[in-house]
Structure 1
Amino acid sequence: MSSSSPPDWARLHHAYGRAKDVPGQLAALAGADPVARGAAVSALSSNVHHQGTRWPASAHVVPPLVMLADSPTTPDRPTVVHLLHAVALGDLSDEVLPFDPVRVFAAAERVSPSDEAAVLRVLFEDDAPDPDAVADVADAVALRWAADAYRAAERHAPSFVAWLQDPEPAVAARAAALLAWFPEAPALATALAGVGSGTGVVRASANLALAFLPGPPGSGELAALTESLASPDEAVRVSAAVALARRRPTALPDEALTALIHADDDEITGVVPGWDRSLRGHVALALQRLGL
């Protein structure tokens, strides 16, 4: 799949048949009419992310969504990034982080083009469809489409890294949350650690993303998380404590443990943009990690 030449949408399928309507919906996302944009988001969500299921067209939607998010003239870019997240990951919750795509998508590797064609034929072409005829491959084919969408997004991870410095906080915060699913992105740890502390929601999201990277934190990550522990922003302090509890549980600073205990006692509320689990949920996970 190439991002330089548009796909033949009429040959691709989404949840309701041929994807001929997708180009118009993508174009509407860049338009000035907020009603048309809202309708396009709803239609795309239903077409290529139908109840979490991805389709052959889904992976091809990723490059134009990235292009829209890259452009500062695109209206409501946080919504575009949110839609991109949904297309790339379906209904996966951050409760399954850290994510291992090789393991999760293993069954998709056995899917052949003929398997996919058979499923599409039963879904969209047969006058008297027989679902039992493809029952043994249907789940694997759906997983194949999910893997394709994930891999399409993975190829654009450098753009997600660049968005960490976006002047729009909601874009940067959602980019950090999205990057938690792509730990192999080049220089990711350095980029997350380098997020400024001027906007609390972005720093908090970057801290949570750092929590799910493998291994102990490097010196740059450790410095950023330690600095965050002194932030006047509660979400920044707590998210840093969560990250340190996951990545450095046997050498946890007292300030981090204090932040976690106070957050648990005070029943801290709120969700960081781009994350499914509430901040309190992250605290509970960190305390569990510590055996508390």
Structure 2
Amino acid sequence: MSAPARSPLEGLETVDWADLHHAYGPATDVPGQLAALLSADAEERYEAHQQLRGNVYHQGTRWQASRHVVPFLTELVDDPATPDRAAVVDLLRDIALGDRDDTHLPFEPAREFARAENVTSTDVAAVLDWLYDDDGDGDEPEESDAVAVSWDRDAYLAAAAVSDRFAAWTNDPDPMIAAGTAELLVWFPATQPVVSRLMEIPAAEGRQVARASANLSLGYLAPDDPAVDNRLTDLLAAGTFGVQLTAAVALALRLGDRIPDAGLQVLAEARDHADEITETTFPMPWHRSLLGFTALALYRIGLSP
């Protein structure tokens, strides 16, 4: 007799949510919102997603409870029975990284979170008292910005602790999950298994956007690995221009003016293929457009447009 299936929300009740805070106060409503992401009712799932996002990622800010949500979102994505898994990946990225875009790459956590190094539990308590003071009086604690950075750091580190599990999602049959995960992986340590996963994504039909997203991530990861350079060079001849272009961009980011001539040629042809690489025709999960990445690549090799 087989064992019963393990719930992706196993252990949810062991977190002391009442002792944690989100944007609106104690996080006692978070378990119900996480559970509702598994509802059979699409409207209920959507409402739970919006409420959860507003609570732990309110206007881009992470909160005390945010990091505790990360492991459960990871479990939900891991479970193929979870509905709307692409939306869960999107929420996971937002909680782990906030509003960061490629201008923060390559990502250096020690520098980004330096202000949080000396934050104490006393500082956190003072900020929570000020935030949720019903009387609305009192001056903002001088530690408030540093405490906010510490919640940002904690959410990132919670994701980094399970980031090795993200790599498997690049093989997901949902192209939005595969492409979004390829971008997500650029923010965490570039272990050899992760780099290998990003290199292995095929450029076959239905996988082109994931392949292109992985190309951009490889532009920032494992900078001294010639195997990555060789893989990207091979992809300059891929059958989809979006894949070719992102390979050329990645090579420009990695090699500068040592980019192969074929890569330079692809960059030069980008505007001629503009209709093929719009957000509609080639929907990439990156904040910058592909023509924007082309301009960045040309700047990197000293040929500013």
Q: Distance in 2 between matches of 1:127 and 1:284?
A: 52
**Which shows bigger deviation, 246-255 or 7-16?**
246-255
Residue in structure 2 matched with residue 251 of structure 1 by the alignment: 258
Which amino acid in 1 is paired with 2:90?
H
Q: Does structure 1 retain, via aligned residues, the 8 Å contact 2:195–2:222?
A: no
Report deviation, 1:52.
0.7
Q: Distance in 2 between matches of 1:49 and 1:262?
A: 40
TM-score, length-scaled by structure 1: 0.93
Question: Of the candidates 268, 281, 285, which is equivalent to residue 292 of structure 2?
Answer: 281
SS in structure 1 at match of 2:288: coil
Q: Does structure 2 retain, via aligned residues, the 8 Å contact 1:165–1:172?
A: yes
Residue in structure 1 matched with residue 105 of structure 2 by the alignment: 97
**Which shows bigger deviation, 67-76 or 264-273?**
264-273
Q: Does structure 2 retain, via aligned residues, the 8 Å contact 1:205–1:272?
A: no
Report deviation, 1:259.
0.9
Question: Identity of paired residues, percent?
Answer: 48
Q: Distance in 1 between matches of 2:65 and 2:224?
A: 39
Question: Of the candidates 263, 269, 274, which is equivalent to residue 262 of structure 1?
Answer: 269
Which amino acid in 1 is paired with 2:143?
V
Q: Does structure 2 retain, via aligned residues, the 8 Å contact 1:264–1:284?
A: no
Q: Distance in 2 between matches of 1:272 and 1:227?
A: 23
Q: Distance in 1 between matches of 2:171 and 2:273?
A: 32
Q: Which sections of structure 1, spanning at least 5 residues, go unmatched?
A: none
**Which shows bigger deviation, 257-266 or 204-213?**
257-266
Residue in structure 1 matched with residue 125 of structure 2 by the alignment: 117
Report deviation, 1:205.
0.6
The question of 1:238 aligning with 2:249 is answered no
Residue in structure 2 matched with residue 224 of structure 1 by the alignment: 231
Deviations 1:97-156, CA, capped at 9 Å, x for gaps: 111010010110110000000000011135243133x0x211000000000000000011
Report deviation, 1:229.
0.9
Q: Which sections of structure 2, spanning at least 5 residues, go unmatched?
A: 1-9
**Which shows bigger deviation, 59-68 or 260-269?**
260-269
Which amino acid in 1 is paired with 2:115?
A
Report deviation, 1:4.
5.3
Aligned residue pair count: 287
Report deviation, 1:249.
2.1
Q: Distance in 2 between matches of 1:273 and 1:33?
A: 29
Q: Distance in 1 between matches of 2:119 and 2:181?
A: 31
Q: Does structure 2 retain, via aligned residues, the 8 Å contact 1:264–1:283?
A: no
Q: Does structure 2 retain, via aligned residues, the 8 Å contact 1:245–1:289?
A: yes
Q: CA RMSD in A?
A: 1.7
Residue in structure 1 matched with residue 33 of structure 2 by the alignment: 25
Report deviation, 1:251.
2.6
Q: Does structure 1 retain, via aligned residues, the 8 Å contact 2:241–2:273?
A: no
Q: Does structure 2 retain, via aligned residues, the 8 Å contact 1:25–1:44?
A: yes
